[in-house]
Amino acid sequence: MILQRIPLALPKENHMKRKIELLAPGGDLDSIKAAIAGGADAIYCGLNNFNARNRAENIPFGDLNGILRLAHKNACEVFLTLNIIIVESEIRALIGLLNKLSNTAIDGVIVQDLGLLYLLATYFPTLNIHGSTQLTTHNDGQIKFLSKLKARRVNLSRELSLQEIKGLARTGHENQVLSEVFVHGSNCISFSGLCFFSSVHGGNSGNRGRCSQPCRNQYLTTEEGKNFPLNLKDNSAYTNLGDLAQAGVDSIKIEGRIKKFHYVYTVVKAFREQLQTLYRQDTLSTDTSELHKVFNRDFTNGFLEGVIDRYMYIDNPMDNSARHRAASYGTPTGANIERAKRELYDLKTEIITRVKKIIGPMDSGKAPLTLAFSGQAGTPLKVTARTPDTSFHVLSGMNLAETTPYSTTSAGGSGNRAPYLNTEMLSQRFKGLNDTAYFIKDIQLTELQGDLFIPFKELTSLKKEIIFSLNGGKETIAPIDVPLLKRDRDVTIKPALSLLISSRKDVHLCNETEAEIYFQLPHSLANGCAACIELFTHNKKLIPWFPAVLIGEDYHAGVKFLKEVQPERIITNNTGIAYEACQQGIPWIAGPYLNIVNSFSLVCLKENFNCSGAFISNEINRQQIKRITKPDNFELYYSIYHPIVLLTSRQCLFHQVSGCQKHAIDAACMSQCERSATITNLKGVSLRIEKTKGNYHRIYNDINFLNTDIVTDLPNLFSRFFIDLRDIKTSTNIESEKPELVKLFADHLAGRVNAAEVLRQHIHPSTASQYEKGI
């Protein structure tokens, strides 16, 4: 089965002439084949390690070259997902993998970790870099940040509207970065990359591809009568492809690497047909019946349309196909549900049978390679390589000889003379060809005179020439030995204290403590920018703390804030603000929500963006932290006390819990809404939902994080320890006022006897489970 590649191009005036890439999931070999058969232009898949779908079957590295051969034969590209954060102990294995990938025909790698971005940009320039959805890309500065790290494309946050996407696609094209948007599949309630729910509740980090989806769990029935109050419908932009084309999007992406092959084929085929309708400039179909035949939680395009309402929720995380089909009979109950289930079972069986028949003949194995050696004494050695698709020959630079003066010791052999050319020796010398998309099926010597010699270096050159031709003219790349950072063991660091506030009534702490004081800026910075500028202008000791999410005008307000205030230093959890701070020459510290867990992330930020320090993620444990080495003249920070943010959402989290008079979020909600609620899971664990003025909805853990041990566990590593004193109510009791609490923490950093025990008495209950478990 051979498909025609639809080339990617930057937008032209007539969007109908521009082809959009259809990017499909490939969780296993059959799904990859199904995506190709369904009409995908590209596939994203993961190996057994380093990818964000740990529950998918994934593929072993040994199968990759065969998959690449099959895909490329069918005009389909393959992108490899390396989209998790990488801990220090994995760096050597990661570099080994990158060295191997450099000599494959992989079309791109999808990346989240800043250290991996640095390694790729610095040492592996032949591998195309794609920014993962886990990077939460939603503003212009973030695209410029990734462009500086040589990213070729970026996946935009699911929460964005068409208008917001259009602006980012334009910025991307101005910076040679293609845009990619999810158009079908699961919706996350949280901004991707900013969800720690599964990590805190079970030790399965979403940033490591191990999300256990506690957001889709059943909870005790809420005031609104809901049992699955955080469960969103699936995303589907099936009817919005024309809008996305007009917005300048380059690639539309289908989610689903844990879905089976029949699902992948059905969805990909439906979107391929819709794209073809778009290219013909016909009216797009609104019939989603094919998409409803396979797993779904019903569909919404609320984020894309900019209508974030209560109808985006569904109080059932299971397959909605039967209910949808039963509704077409009248009512989705009783006999109609049973009838729908029977019909869907038959349909599923028919789809599976049909797709198996289509993908069955598709060979993803390596192609056979025959090597025929020929020549006589005094002539060059000729090697003819034959594959099912091509045939070519290469010649040695030296002539064959009947006797040899060549020692084998320099080539790894033993004795004084190279062996005669024979099948066993040539199989050994050319075995590297088996690491390509081909395997040596046969070695033929019928046209080769017997008892001949040639230097090993000539055979090595011939092997390289053959690999070059088999790889489409791509040179073999020698392994890169990336130097690892070395720690200065003799350094002595006396850590200082810093703290975070978000209320003007706490600004007085600037005059009552020697600790650095950070003040949190709101997510909706555009609405309160003038007031924030006034606050920092009159309180020079305050250090701005930028949130992780700043969309559209809120990001531009952040840029304006930097220009007008010109702070001596900032803390930012947003790479777009980091980029702008670097451009303006403002010193900046990378915040805890940039998910930094390895040394190369620190090097990345310092060398490329003039970063002067960084928070180490609270997701990793003592041993994982201990391995990290900081660059020279760089400070490390760590939060030892904070309410634990489990997730941040653009959706209203009260619709399904305590209710809301409004059906949809409007401009006033962001700036004016201030309320809270709790939900409790079936294990009796409560979670706190909080919305403060100017900020997105958040869910907090019921118990705060407190880690006093790290101060003595890891001396001479951190320059500052951080405490979060914002007024966030949880079940953790605080038995002292803020000035006294600051003094207690300062005593602990100073090494006062029993200070840690006193802190635990004043802050209880608490948890440090992430520091104990790690990721």
pLDDT tens, residue by residue, 737-767: 999 999 999 999 999 999 999 999 999 999 9
pTM tops 0.85, yes or no: yes
pLDDT at 585: 98
pLDDT at 416: 45
- Distance of alpha carbon 440 from alpha carbon 339, whole angstroms: 54
pLDDT at 186: 96
pLDDT at 16: 58
List the alpha helices (DSSP H) in 39-176. Answer: 64-73, 91-101, 114-123, 140-148, 162-174
Question: CB neighbours (10 Å) of residue 754?
Answer: 10
Q: Look at phi and psi of residue 751 and say left if phi exceeds 0, alpha if psi is from -120 to 50, else beta.
A: left
- Distance of alpha carbon 587 from alpha carbon 581, whole angstroms: 7
Q: In one letter, which amino acid is 74? A: N
- Distance of alpha carbon 502 from alpha carbon 692, whole angstroms: 10
pLDDT at 53: 55
For residue 702, which phi and psi values (nearest 5 degrees)? -70, -20
- Note whether 545 and 154 are within 8 A (CB): no
- Distance of alpha carbon 542 from alpha carbon 501, whole angstroms: 10
pLDDT at 489: 73
- Taking the CA atoms of residue 597, residue 599, residue 604 and residue 609 in that order, the dihedral angle to the nearest 10 degrees is 80
pLDDT at 404: 56
Nearest to 73 by CA among 1, 121, 131, 20: 1
List the alpha helices (DSSP H) in 569-718. Answer: 575-584, 599-609, 622-626, 667-672, 710-713
pLDDT at 4: 33
pLDDT at 56: 60
Positions in the chain short of pLDDT 70: 1-16, 51-57, 404-418
> How confident is the prediction for the chain on average, in pLDDT?
93
Give me the helix-helix angle, 91-101 and 114-123, nearest 10°: 40
Per DSSP, the residues of 239-270 read GGHHHHHHHT--EEEE--TTS-HHHHHHHHHH
pLDDT at 52: 53
- Distance of alpha carbon 366 from alpha carbon 67, whole angstroms: 8
pLDDT at 485: 85
Please report, for the chain, how many H helices and E strands are present, in that order.
Answer: 24, 30
Q: In one letter, which amino acid is 363? A: D
pLDDT at 49: 80
| pLDDT tens, residue by residue, 696-753 | 999 999 999 999 999 999 999 999 999 999 999 999 999 999 999 999 999 999 999 9
Cis peptide leading into 765, omega within 30 of 0? yes
Cα dihedral 243, 249, 251, 255 sign: negative
pLDDT at 319: 93
- Distance of alpha carbon 775 from alpha carbon 770, whole angstroms: 8
